[in-house]
Amino acid sequence: MSLDIKFLFIIFLTASMGAQASLENLVRKAALENGFMSAEELNPALDAELVKIGKIFFNSTSTSLNGNTSCQTCHLDRFGSADGIPNAIGVGGEGEGASRIKMGGAILPRNTLPLWGRGTEDFKILFWDGRIEKVDDLIISQFGENFPSLDPLVVAAHLPPLEIREMLVEDKFIEEQKTEKFDSANVVFSKIISELKKREPDGIEALADFYDINFEEITYFHVAKSIAEFIKAKFAIQDTEFHKFVFESGSLSEKKLRGAELFYGKGKCSVCHGGALFSDFKFHKIAYPQLGFGKNGFGIDYGRFNTTHEVKDLYKFRTPPLFDVLNTAPYSHSGSIQKIQEAIIFHFDPLRFIDLDSMTPLDRSEFYKRISLDSQEKMLISFLNDNEIELIVEFLKSLSFSPNDI
């Protein structure tokens, strides 16, 4: 190699390294400006003893009156704290994941949401439709003024045992409790506690010792508090590859780095999937197809509207966080999307799967622009090619981790 060629090679290599460093700094800056935080900053202090007790009840089928389902039934480690199927299957189901589909059971109207980061300060709105929301010193929920805790996760832990088909069989006893009165919920909770004292006496005794009260004084609130504490510990945010890149000067592969650039830049993903948990915790309309029964009938789910009863909220669903997202398929509120690539495409080009042959990309782009003029929401019109989508998927791999071994 001549001296001239060596000199040119060195110049090229130096320029490439400079461009790489510049892109790395750009991505780090974008992440921090979008509110990205270290796992240590995010996760709350927890009580190890209450976490240990909560594990008992999280895994116990005795928290359902029929003794058939538990929290763990639909929140499995191998599916990124979800269940790996489009719509959760409640009472009467058997096995895990796809095997529950084969074995029958009550099909629920929505896809199971993962539990990552539920104990963090930012997580104030829970469920697809935000039916539990913390606003200042108030919890907005089905419990009205009788909300049992100012911790939204503790309140959320009260709901599944009250859900018909999820953890309740609609027998004569439950039929009699189907009212809008808070007392009806207390009747169900009292019966659940009565059964738990028979089936999980060690867990109840441990709760009594923890709170320094008598065995008979334990209520479902104490159980729910322990379940929430376990969820916060088990599914706490951990340092991912991206955390190490941003906060410890770690490295990302070229593809992941370019994917991050698209995520925070051209793709506009971070407009909704920003912040410490990659969610704005707001409600948006995405043209995902409805799979199976929705909350409002076959093929229909009004989303946030079911909570607020405001027309502007029709078909809106809360932005899901993206930690470990590649392990939590299928996607969307009804689990209608199997591949993450398709989930991304539906954000900006849903007609690719619906009416691909009759419209050109330009036609589709103009169509969405017309929609944006009449919409109350800002349309994010940024078409991505397949290679760019794959790069974003590469970046999402850097957000993966496994549940804590508790």
User: What are the residues whose beta carbons fall under 8 Å from the beta carbon of 132, sequence distance 6 or more?
Assistant: 125, 126, 139, 140, 141, 152, 155, 156, 159
Contact criterion met (CB below 8 Å) for 90 and 100: no
Contact criterion met (CB below 8 Å) for 243 and 89: no
Residue 316 pLDDT greater than 50, yes or no:
yes
The predicted pLDDT at position 170 comes to: 80
Place of tokens 């690539």: 341
pLDDT top residue among 12 and 163: 163
Q: Comparing 103-112, 169-178, 383-392, which segment has the lowest mean pLDDT?
A: 169-178
Backbone angles phi, psi at 335, to 5 degrees: 65, 30
Contact criterion met (CB below 8 Å) for 82 and 112: yes
CA distance 52 to 230: 7
Q: Give the DSSP per-residue string, 57-108.
A: HHH-GGGSTTS---HHHH-BGGGTTB-SSSS-B-TT--SSTHHHHHT--PBP
Could you report the per-residue pLDDT of 340-356, keeping only the tens digit for each?
Answer: 999 999 888 877 776 65
Predicted structure pTM score: 0.89
The predicted pLDDT at position 9 comes to: 45
Residue 12 pLDDT greater than 50, yes or no:
no
Residue 3 pLDDT greater than 60, yes or no:
no
Q: What is the mean pLDDT of the chain?
A: 88
Residue 290 pLDDT greater than 90, yes or no:
no
Residue 377 pLDDT greater than 90, yes or no:
no
Closest CA to 347 of 312, 382, 399: 382
The predicted pLDDT at position 369 comes to: 54
Contact criterion met (CB below 8 Å) for 70 and 64: yes
Where would I find the H helices in 162-312?
172-176, 182-199, 201-211, 220-234, 241-247, 254-264, 305-308
The predicted pLDDT at position 103 comes to: 78
Residue 296 pLDDT greater than 70, yes or no:
yes
The predicted pLDDT at position 83 comes to: 95
Helix and strand numbers (H, E) in the chain are: 17, 7
Contact criterion met (CB below 8 Å) for 114 and 80: yes
Could you report the per-residue pLDDT of 173-212, keeping only the tens digit for each?
Answer: 777 777 666 678 888 999 999 999 999 999 999 999 999 9
CA distance 61 to 347: 38
Domains and CATH numbers, the chain: 3-38+238-397 (1.10.760.10), 48-234 (1.10.760.10)
Q: Comparing 15-29, 74-88, 387-401, which segment has the lowest mean pLDDT?
A: 15-29
DSSP 331: B
The predicted pLDDT at position 363 comes to: 65
The predicted pLDDT at position 8 comes to: 42
Residue 275 pLDDT greater than 80, yes or no:
yes
The predicted pLDDT at position 248 comes to: 92
